[in-house]
Structures are given as C-alpha cells and as structure tokens.
Amino acid sequence: MPASPFDRWITEDPEVLALMGAEAERQATTVQLIASENFTSTAVMAATGSVLTNKYAEGYPGRRYYGGNQVVDQVEDLARDRLKALFGAEHANVQPHAGSNANLAVYQALLDPGDTVLAMRLDHGGHLTHGSPASITSKVWNFVSYGVTPATDDPDNPGEVIDFDQVAEMARTHRPKLIVAGSTAYARIIDPLPFREIADSIGARFMFDAAHPAGLIAGGVHPSPVGVADVVTFTTHKTLRGPRGGAILCSAELAKSIDSAIFPGLQGGPLENVIAGKAVAFAEAARPEFRTYAAQVVANAKALAAAVAAQGIRLVSGGTDNHQVLCDLQSFDAELTGKEAQEVLDRAGITCNRNTIPDDPRSPFITSGLRLGSAAQTTVGMGEAEMERIGGLIGTTLRGRADESVVAGVRAEIRELCASFPPYPDLADA
Ligand code: DSN
C-alpha cells in the first residue's frame, strides 16, 4: 500500500520509501490502541507534506521577520480563525510544535521562575510537563501535585477520580499562582468548573491541558474549558485527528503574552506546512460528522472497557467516559507487568502502551498498567462489536503469553479484522 499521497515523488530514495511502506503496512495490519494516536485524513497528510515546509516565517501574520510571507500569512490566519470558531475562543496560537511546547509557553507567559504551580501527579495520570522531576518544568517552577481518590470496592462509586478536596486543600496550603487541569492517563470527564472555583478562591490562574479530550470537546461530548480556564492547551493529533503539533487558546487579554512566549520565547520559525494541516483538521472537526465520530469514540471505549473487564482485568476508576481505558493488570495476574503485556500484545498485532496506575508499585519503565484508546480504530470505522472482539483477544493474548502459537493465532485474527477496515482506502486504490 502507498504510504502517503506523495509516494511517487520519493522513489529516488528507496530506503526511506521502504521504511514508509513498512510503517504503512504496520498501521494497516495491526490495531492502534495508543490513546494519543489517530489516523489523519489524506488531506491533512497532503497539507503537511507540501511546499509550505520551505517557508521561514518567524513572527506572526502581518508581523514577520522575513519576506515572502504573503501566502503563509493567509494559511496561519485561516488556521487561527478556524480554531477560534471551532472552540469559541477569543485568541488562538497554532504555532506550538507540540503539546509540551504549548504548556511551557503558558508557564513562561504566566509565571516567574520559582513560582508555585498545582498540577496532577504523573503517576496518577498527569503529564511530564505538569511538573515531573524528569521534566524541565520542575526545575524552573515549584510544582506541587494533587491526585485521585483511593480505589474502592463499591461498583457505584469506584474511586480513582480527581480528588477535588485535595485540590482545594493543596491550593489553600501552597497558594499556587497557576492551577493545571488535564491528564494523559485518566478515563473520566474532567469538569473545568470546580478547578475554576478553586483557582478563583485563591486568586490563581487556571490552565486546562486538553491534549487528550480536545476532539471530544470539539465534538460536543465533553464540557468545554474554553471561557472557563484562562488558557487551554492541547495537541492536535490525538482525538482531534490533525497533524502532530500543539495549539493554545486564550482570552484576548492574554494573547500578546502567550504569543510572545511561543515566539520568540520558545520557538523559532513555525512549521507552516503543519499549520496548514491543522487548518484542514480544524475544518474537518467543525463538520457534523465529527460529532458522530466523537460520540462513537466514547461508545467504543466503553465497549472495549466492558470487554477487557470481562476478561478479569480491573479498570482504573471503574470504567471510562472518554477515549481511554486504563487497565490494572495486578488483578489479572500479579506477575504480569505492563511492559511484558505491551510487548506480547505488540507481537499479537495489538498496539498499546504500558502505563503507571495510581500508586503503582512498579517503575514507570515497567508499570502495572496498560492504557488503551479507541480514537484511531473508530476513525477507520470499527464499532462496539469490533471493540468487544479486540477486548477478548487482549485477554486471550495475555493469558496465553507463554505460548507463541496462541500469540500467532491472535496475530492472524487481528490481520483478518484489519483487512476489513483499511485506514487509507483512497491510497490503496491510487
Ligand atoms: N501525551 C502523551 C500521551 O498521552 O501519550 C505523550 O506525551
């Protein structure tokens, strides 16, 4: 299968072409359950792989430091206008190369070095840029963290949800200048309103990192933090289904400081080719069919969650409201680590990532959890029936992990399933 709309132009580099072909084959013959991935449209890929990659455009539309920006100014304005309209925001910055850059820019815009920030613990679902000791963020600013409530045995109130009492207490005790909501491994809706109330009670700013639910918010199935938080950051390539990159939304009041923090504060020339891909994706996300897609992503995650739970795997927080399913493998097999599970599932054609679970006794490199996501396979047209089947195959693979014939049997079944859901049927016909 061709790997991109432009395959025919790179035949003079057979090594790269072969690798792109191999990756296209991998994506088409295995299931993609990494919660931070998706399949973009070919229109997004075409914009990303276009002549716009040639243009240097330091600055912002109408205020560039190089000549020849008449066209890319329009590209970037189009992306900003579409993004503002999609989320009802006053200001948009579409230049962040990634979600981490977007977060760093907000900290730079709103904080002085050494200021205190309250954010979610990495091992309870937060992101590296929310103050992990391994991240530059914790070296420049003083992060304190909140987590989730303890797990319970009550199916109606399973726990492992954001502990707002703790958020409020930490805010009172540490008086952070900024409170951060958002996560990378949390399967429940994050309501921005309680965070806003707590931030207001101590006069703090509030940033919502919507990297994971951005597409669910755009699709109307999760509450929007736009207009509630002072700043909203996100990546464009997860549930939002755009090219790899980041974006920031904020009020008009913060526009100048956010823009200056991205350029010249943190980045040089923007990737106008990627910004064009973002513009395409923002228009796609504004269509009515994207609302249907977002609702199906959640329905599929619920079906996948029920299917893995039926295999005896405990779900962190008891289920899901979004595109993620966070599995606690300790309940399934005390010996099975997240690392081993990820590796055997990879061999079976089920691509996912190991993940820490709240208070994980194992290291972040080994872990006791697995994170699954439904966004990519929903894009290719899979529904609840396929999720149920995949959940069963996850159980079969993990139980039979010592027997390569079991793994090979699942691999064959996954290959056959994927054949009915090609991610790029247009390219296959090209
Ligand atoms: N955003 C992370 C993820 O959720 O996979 C990676 O930084």
Task: Provide the pLDDT confidence category of residue 426 given band limits of 50, 70 and 90.
Answer: confident
154 shares its domain with 85: yes
**Ligand 1 atom at shortest distance from the alpha carbon of 184:** 4
Q: Any idea what the CATH number is for the domain that residue 257 is in? A: 3.40.640.10
Domain of residue 223, residue span:
51-285
Is 421:382 a contact under the CB 8 Å cutoff? yes
Centre of ligand 1 to C-alpha 97, Å, is: 14
pLDDT at 1: 65
pLDDT at 11: 72
232 shares its domain with 309: no
**Which residue is listed with tokens 């980045």?**
267
pLDDT in tens, 39-63: 999 999 999 999 999 999 999 999 9
Centre of ligand 1 to C-alpha 9, Å, is: 32
278 shares its domain with 337: no
Is-catalytic flag, 235? yes
* Catalytic residue (one of 235, 239, 320, 356): 235
193 shares its domain with 314: no
Which of 256, 285, 314 represents a domain boundary (last residue)?
285
63 shares its domain with 156: yes
User: For the chain, what is the domain count?
Assistant: 2
269 shares its domain with 360: no
Name which of 359, 27, 95, 53 is nearest 233 in CA terms. 95
∠ CA(352), CA(319), CA(210), 5° rounding? 65
Centre of ligand 1 to C-alpha 245, Å, is: 12
Which of 239, 257, 285 represents a domain boundary (last residue)?
285
Centre of ligand 1 to C-alpha 15, Å, is: 29
Task: Give buried/exposed letters for 181-219 (b at 16+ CB in 10 A, else e).
Answer: bbbbbbbbbbebeebbebbeebebbbbbbbbbbbbbbbb
CA 54 to chain centre: 28
Q: What is the mean pLDDT of residues 313-338?
A: 97
Beta strand 369-373 pairing with 324-328: antiparallel
Residue 104 forms part of a structural domain: yes
Q: Any idea what the CATH number is for the domain that residue 349 is in? A: 3.90.1150.10
Task: Provide the pLDDT confidence category of residue 245 given band limits of 50, 70 and 90.
Answer: very high
Residue 383 forms part of a structural domain: yes
Is 37:54 a contact under the CB 8 Å cutoff? no
Would the CB of 211 count as within 6 Å of ligand 1?
yes
pLDDT in tens, 188-211: 999 999 999 999 999 999 999 999
**Ligand 1 atom at shortest distance from the alpha carbon of 34:** 5
Is the pLDDT at 149 greater than 80, yes or no? yes
207 shares its domain with 344: no
58 shares its domain with 149: yes
Q: pTM for the full model? A: 0.96
Which of 235, 268, 285 represents a domain boundary (last residue)?
285
**Ligand 1 atom at shortest distance from the alpha carbon of 235:** 1
Q: What is the mean pLDDT of residues 5-24?
A: 82
Would the CB of 184 count as within 6 Å of ligand 1?
yes
* Catalytic residue (one of 244, 302, 314, 371): 244
Residue 32 forms part of a structural domain: no
Residue 8 forms part of a structural domain: no
pLDDT in tens, 339-398: 999 999 999 999 999 999 999 999 999 999 999 999 999 999 999 999 999 999 999 999
272 shares its domain with 346: no
